[in-house]
Amino acid sequence: MHSGDLKIRWARQYMPVLSSIRERFEQEKPFAGMTIGMALHVEAKTAVLVETLVAGGAEVHITGCNPLSTQDDVSFALNTREGIHSYAKRGATVEEYYAGIDRVLDARPAVTIDDGMDLIHRLHTERREILDAVIGGCEETTTGVHRLRAMAREGALRFPVIAVNDTPMKRFFDNVHGTGESSLAAVMITTNVLIAGRRVVVAGYGYCGRGLAQKARSLGARVIVTEVDPRRALQAHMDGFEVMPMDAAAALGDIFITTTGNTGIITERHFPKMKSGAILANAGHFDVEIDVDWLERNADAVERREGINTYILDGTALHVLAEGRLVNLATPKGMGHPIEVMDLSFAVQALSALHIARHGRELSPGVHDVPSAIDEEVARLKLDVLGLAIDRLTPEQEDYMSSWTIGT
């Protein structure tokens, strides 16, 4: 069996929630005659989502959402299957990256699934001629949802998009445990350095930052958090982490991991303060958090290894992982989030795509929450798989919770 097929088979066995949705889709064929266009990280778990949509009758056209995150053998395996066309390629140049997006759009998708919003961006800029073919879309990640909300605020978004990222069944598991475990795993497997006893600086204390800080602490790291939001900074403090500005953390950190989704987090102001041997990685969607361009232009020398570029600045060695791109997928050995968390996120994706296919025409253009019935269904399916039973509200409790008249 081809390596891509073996990877997909490996992932599939740990994705029981998506399997049960696939069985349902096989019976109901809800996407019959429909084209779904996707720009996601093309790796094994994503392939299982694609299979699920195709089992429901869809034709899928997919490309990557990051030039370094595609696994070529998985992209190849997808192309051998009926109803699937993959244009993703690892190491794509900017032109090749957008050519892949254009090929997806050439198929005139009725439903889009994005991770970072590049498909929707292209649709609303260079490819407006096919906007009318689109019923709606789904967005996987925090950065994509930020961009979509900015579009919606300006009245620029022309169809409904479901913010998969923002729903509890995504955030509580994917952002916290997925980003936490997979980013640290990528740092460890790329560098082979010990986390225990090291000072790990986590930039940003959103769901991803929280996951990373907790997991790093559980490995024995001394964790520093940097934040701009006073409430999150206080939360990090009360969760037991050191809190300080990046200007102060720069001199102390051994390993830096950015999770903010914002630009200019570690810059020329910080590099000269850092210890020689410092390791810098980014866990946010785009490569804008660490100013790698400045290092490329100003370093005295650069040594390039697989997944690690070392910049020498006035005798100080700074090691940047995966060119500052999201470390859990873009470093050569990065595998992305653990399979079980993507099972949940992609189960939400599959059911949200179904919701768009069925009800998209009734929804207004803009950003929409995942319907809570979908979120709960995914949670219940997972509890069933785990064999976990939970309590149910009694009628009395339901009354109590919806009443305002009962007091002391």
Please identify which residue in 7, 12, 22, 41 interacts with ligand ADE, judged by CB under 6 A: 41
Strands 255-258 and 278-282, by their bridges, are parallel
Give the whole-angstrom CA distance, residue 24 versus residue 161: 24
What DSSP element (H or E) covers 217? helix 207-218
Minimum distance, C-beta of residue 375 to ligand ADE, in the bound complex (Å): 18
Binding mask of the shown chain, residues 340 to 359, with x at each position contacting ligand ADE by CB under 6 A: --x-----------------
Cβ proximity to ligand ADE, 69 vs 191, nearer residue: 69
Name the residue number minimizing CB distance to ligand ADE: 336
Q: Does 43 bind ligand ADE (CB under 6 A)?
A: yes
Candidate ranges 10-18, 79-87, 94-102, 329-337; the one touching ligand ADE (CB under 6 A): 329-337
Cβ proximity to ligand ADE, 200 vs 329, nearer residue: 329
Tokens 């429901």 sit at which residue? 56
Q: Does 336 bind ligand ADE (CB under 6 A)?
A: yes
Q: 313 and 298 in contact (C-beta within 8 Å)? A: yes
Tokens 């006893």 sit at which residue? 197
| Exposure letters 145-156 (e unless 16+ CB within 10 A, then b) | bbbbbebbeeee
Cβ proximity to ligand ADE, 41 vs 89, nearer residue: 41
Q: Does 261 bind ligand ADE (CB under 6 A)?
A: no
CA-to-CA dists, residue 220 to 48, 182, 223, angstroms = 35, 17, 9
Cβ proximity to ligand ADE, 50 vs 54, nearer residue: 50
Size of the site for ligand ADE (CB under 6 A): 14
| 397 conformational bin, left if phi > 0, alpha if psi -120 to 50, beta if neither | alpha
Of 165-194, binders to ligand ADE (CB under 6 A) are 178
Q: Does 212 bind ligand ADE (CB under 6 A)?
A: no
> If DSSP codes are grouped into helix, strand and coil, which group holds residue 195?
coil
Of 110-139, binders to ligand ADE (CB under 6 A) are 115
CA-to-CA dists, residue 110 to 99, 118, 357, 388, angstroms = 19, 16, 8, 37
Cβ proximity to ligand ADE, 49 vs 110, nearer residue: 49
Please identify which residue in 121, 122, 177, 337 interacts with ligand ADE, judged by CB under 6 A: 337
Q: Does 140 bind ligand ADE (CB under 6 A)?
A: yes
Nearest to 345 by CA among 85, 71, 113: 113
Cβ proximity to ligand ADE, 3 vs 27, nearer residue: 3
Give the whole-angstrom CA distance, residue 155 versus residue 178: 33
Give the whole-angstrom CA distance, residue 144 versus residue 28: 30
Minimum distance, C-beta of residue 223 to ligand ADE, in the bound complex (Å): 22
Minimum distance, C-beta of residue 277 to ligand ADE, in the bound complex (Å): 28
Minimum distance, C-beta of residue 296 to ligand ADE, in the bound complex (Å): 26
> If DSSP codes are grouped into helix, strand and coil, which group holds residue 312?
strand
Nearest to 150 by CA among 360, 366, 371, 370: 366
Site residues (vs ligand ADE, CB under 6 A): 40-41, 43, 45-46, 115, 140-141, 178, 328-329, 336-337, 342
